[in-house]
Each structure stands twice: as C-alpha cells, then as structure tokens.
Structure 1
C-alpha cells in the first residue's frame, strides 16, 4: 500500500523525524481561497507582527507587576491608561477582523472610577490570553505553510529525471549535471577553476 492510497504524506518535521500528515490537510493548506467570506489566514491578519509582539511582551510584564505588588489608587489609574493605550496600539498593527474581535472581548474600564486590582488583573490576563492565542494561531499557520512547502518540494523532487537531485534551495545539487556543467569548455576556458 503506498502513501497515496492511505491518504497520508510523510514530511520531515523540525526535529528531523518523519511525520505522517493526512493528505487532505495539505490540500487545505495549499488550496486558494474559494470564497471571499471565508476566514483569512491569521498570518495575513497581523499587519505589524513586530509591534504586536513588543506590546504583547509589555502587557505580559505589566500583568506580572500587577500580581507582584499592591497598587495604590494612582498606580491603578496609570495601569488603566496603559492598558487602554496598549489596546489602541495593538489595533494599529492588526487587520480589521482582529480589531473587531479585540474590541468585543476587551471591556472598557469606567472613566470616572479607579479600577480595583482585581479588575486590572482580569483585564490584563484576558489581553495576555488573547495575544497568546493569536501567537499560537500564527505559529500553527506557519507550520502548516512549511508542511505544504515541504510536500511541494518533495513532489518536485520526485518528478526529476533519474540521477538528478535538488539542493534544499531548489537548485541542482553540485556535480549533478545541471545546465552549467560543461559550459566552461564551450567558451575555451581551461583555467581549471579558482586554484592559486
């Protein structure tokens, strides 16, 4: 029974070990979007990934600070301002779909009232959790793209004539009789290479 008959493709994972992946997963990962209403790839939804990562790291650190020390009224007000500014900055690095989701999930603090430590912890933890989910989604999408690329590379490699192999960059491997080999003699170059 071949891999095609079982509906699985073997891909080499990041640790160098073979991984059996259902063939339909690869088809889904490489298939073009058929419908405009379908959910976009999460890697396309983060327009400024470095900015989102920086803000996420800052928010995580703030959550640790809120957990570690008691806060007076002034520091709670300052944290509320930082939290609101962080959300605005995050929104500038995200696609409209993620901005809408973030706005639905992050409830604003009351303007006239100082939030309690508990309210701040909950808001910060919620935002950190949402960002971690976003980061995991991005990692999963990138892994799926890598799996699809490896499968595509393997398909190309199998289609090569016998005796020819490709390097990881997709070029004929050295000494494999690519189109450049033998070209030196056609131009009368008999120098023998770059030896001193």
Structure 2
C-alpha cells in the first residue's frame, strides 16, 4: 500500500487537515501503516497538484482541511478493485525472537513481557476507538472492519507472547559456568 492510498482513504471518509491525518497515523492506523509528518505533508501537496484532493477554506485553529475530488474517489476505487493487496510485511519483533537465543532467558522474558504489555495496551486503545464509532456513517462501518482486524491481530500477538514466555521459562542459561583455574 502506498502512502498516497492511505491518505486518499482517510480523506474520503471525511475532510481532514494534515494535523488530523498525522493524529490518525499515531492512533488508529498505527498498527496498519506508519507515516511521519515529513512524509504526509509533501504527499498531500502532490495529491492536490494531481487533482485528487483539494484544500477547503481555512477552518478552526487555522487548519486547512483537504477533501477528496471525484478523480481522487475514482483513483481510490480503482486501487480497491483492480489491484491485489500487498501481503509483504516487516516485523521487528519476530526478527528479534530469532535472536533471543543469544541472551539470558531472563532477558528474553523481559523482552517478551514488554511485547505482551505493548499488545495489551494497544488492544485497550483499539477497543475504545471501536466504542466511539458511529455505525450510521459508512466510513465508520468500514473502520469497524479495520479496527476488528487490528483487535484480532493484537489478541493473537498477546496470546503468542504469553505462550513464548512459558517456553522461554524452560530454557537453560546461556552462560557457561565459570571454570576454576586456581
């Protein structure tokens, strides 16, 4: 997925300023897509230059929300209906687990406890977001699907971390006993 499609998706749901979009990336979209403000603002300008979004009049606190154009909506629909989802992903947590054999079991367990708490905290946050949805709004009905995907992934990740903690508890120490040379 490209940042372009992520931005069009957000703006199609309702007009949003760059600030609003960055808050979305730090909140509900954190488990799906990460983007920094230094990426968002230039891409918004490109989308506007390409005629896919347009700036509305200045709103509260000097924000200038963007709204999607008909061409932007057509582009978004085309992306949804003519391209396959990219299922490639990078997951640093999983990569790190392949290296846990290099540390003491207590250190591995500390890493896994941190992961477990992270997933539990994100779960709590997504559940709050789900409760705040207005299912009379089409964009919120679709958001429910995405949020539920996140909830289920986080539940699975938390369950995995609990399991992994039990497995690592059975590992022997990686440090060889010191030899008495005296």
The answer to whether TM tops 0.5 is no
Write 1 or 2 for the structure with the bigger share of helix: 2
Task: Output the TM-score relative to the length of structure 2.
Answer: 0.32
Q: Who wins on radius of gyration, i.e. which is larger?
A: 1
- TM-score scaled by structure 1? 0.30
